[in-house]
Amino acid sequence: MMFFKETCFQETPTGKVPRDWDVVELEKLGEKVRAGGTPLTSKREYWNGSLPFVKIEDITLAGKYLARTKSFISGEGLRNSSAWIVPENSLLFALYGSMGEVTINTIPVTTNQAILGIIPHSRDDVEFLYYWYAFFKPKWKKYAKPTTQANLTAEILRNSVVPLPPEKERRAISKILGVVDLAIAKAGEVIAKIERLKKGLMQELLTKGIGHKEYKQTPTGKTPRTWQTVPLKTVVKSYKNGIYKPNEYYHKGYPCIRMYNIVNGRIDTVNATLLDVTEQELEDYGLERGDVIVNRVNTPELVGKAGVVPEGFGKATFESKNIRVRLDNKKILPEFFSVFVQTTAYAKQVLSRAKIAVAQATITQDDLNSLLIPLPPTTDEQRKIAEIISTVDKKLELEKKEKTRLERIKQGLMDLLLTGKIRVKVD
């Protein structure tokens, strides 16, 4: 396969593309372009049938190919709604919610009204259309209807134009991008495998420890006989809720840690918002190596999310929806505590103590005080456990960086190939 740089372009509604490319409205490419519909939820007989029913969340979770759904409708639900059967190897497009998300269904499906089913005249073109609309996704904002929630319509999509290279070139472009997608998918599989390994190791290490032969049952489950099960308050020096300041103080100053900066039991400042604080506020709400930040207000799934401040962190504060926990490092190492807060046992304890109102959950310092921790009697064993998990985390981080690198390569290739800046020469 050969490549060459294009020099002769035409102006189109989507930008410059090669002169010998066609520019065609989607409606002319599609055998059918139609949104779905949702059967009445009050009719139990319309649901839990055998027909896969696609919602926006199914598309966002699927990636390039959609092979399963969480919900199903019955034949009666299909007949009594606007839903229709979208055959396999069609394109599914999110009109709102996750606006512009696309996927190819590998099974026949039905969809709700927020999803457009697109059946191309040539089913061989579905992959090229997938890549074109995936590439075009960031540009949909200027076409969306200005409502409370930005959304597209079936009419906007039908009238949208697609630059079409010659048929053989379309196939070649899809094949090249498909190879990169396959590499990204394999990287994702490796990441998932390492994450499962990490979860199993944490369970093993926090119930069996290292080198123990005798065990006992405790309120947190099985632990080595020599371990203690202690409430968090016995290993904490102090608690402090985060700082609150009006919006005008943001976007300059020092990093201010939010829930989004808690990743894999650690705190980072990647994409952290900046907050303008005084020297006294920086001292009062500052962070030190080994401090633990716990998210105290969030959804029930995320409340209690916690991470430890690593070495060499720099000056930073933390916002009011978080609690700073300073540990007694003679009793418990922050690195060991970082492992504990990533376990299911920790999450269950937090959820059992949280106050839940509607979709929001809150935990307090008193709630944290009563959390039970399985604790090795020596910091030496705590360190060994933390080091094992740290080794897995480093491998996980490397694989995630590789996946990110591949995604950047794919984005760059789409920009070159789908606009014709670089052409594929096909015999």
Average pLDDT per block of 10 residues along the chain, 427 residues long? 93 94 95 95 96 96 94 97 96 93 97 96 92 95 72 92 95 96 96 97 96 94 96 97 96 94 91 94 95 95 94 92 96 96 94 91 96 96 97 96 97 97 90
Alpha helices in 209-314 (DSSP H): 279-284
Query: Dmax of the chain from CA atoms?
Result: 77
- Report the pLDDT value the prediction gives residue 36, as an integer from 0 to 100: 96
DSSP string, 372-414: EEEE-SSHHHHHHHHHHHHHHHHHHHHHHHHHHHHHHHHHHHH
- Measured CA to CA, the distance from residue 292 to residue 31 in angstroms comes to 57
- CB 105 within 8 Å of CB 90: yes
Which of 261, 243, 235 is CA-nearest to residue 324? 243
- Find the Cα–Cα–Cα–Cα dihedral 376, 379, 381, 384, rounded to 10°: 130
- Report the pLDDT value the prediction gives residue 124, as an integer from 0 to 100: 85
- Measured CA to CA, the distance from residue 330 to residue 258 in angstroms comes to 28
- CB 304 within 8 Å of CB 297: no
Adjacent-strand bridge partners of 135: none
**pTM passes above 0.75:** yes
Sign of CA dihedral 381, 386, 389, 391: negative
DSSP string, 55-106: -HHHHHHHTTEE---SEEE-HHHHHTSS---BPSSEEEEESSSSTT-EEEES
- Report the pLDDT value the prediction gives residue 379, as an integer from 0 to 100: 95
Which of 313, 316, 161, 332 is CA-nearest to residue 236? 332
**Residue located via tokens 């920009």:** 415
Residues near 340 by Cβ (< 8 Å), separated by ≥ 6?
206, 346, 373, 374
- Report the pLDDT value the prediction gives residue 149, as an integer from 0 to 100: 65
In order of their start, the domains of the chain are 25-142 (3.90.220.20), 228-375 (3.90.220.20)
- Measured CA to CA, the distance from residue 170 to residue 122 in angstroms comes to 12
- Report the pLDDT value the prediction gives residue 147, as an integer from 0 to 100: 65
- Report the pLDDT value the prediction gives residue 313, as an integer from 0 to 100: 87
- Report the pLDDT value the prediction gives residue 269, as an integer from 0 to 100: 87
The structure tokens listed for 295 are 């998210």
Output DSSP code: residue 243.
B
Alpha helices in 219-318 (DSSP H): 279-284
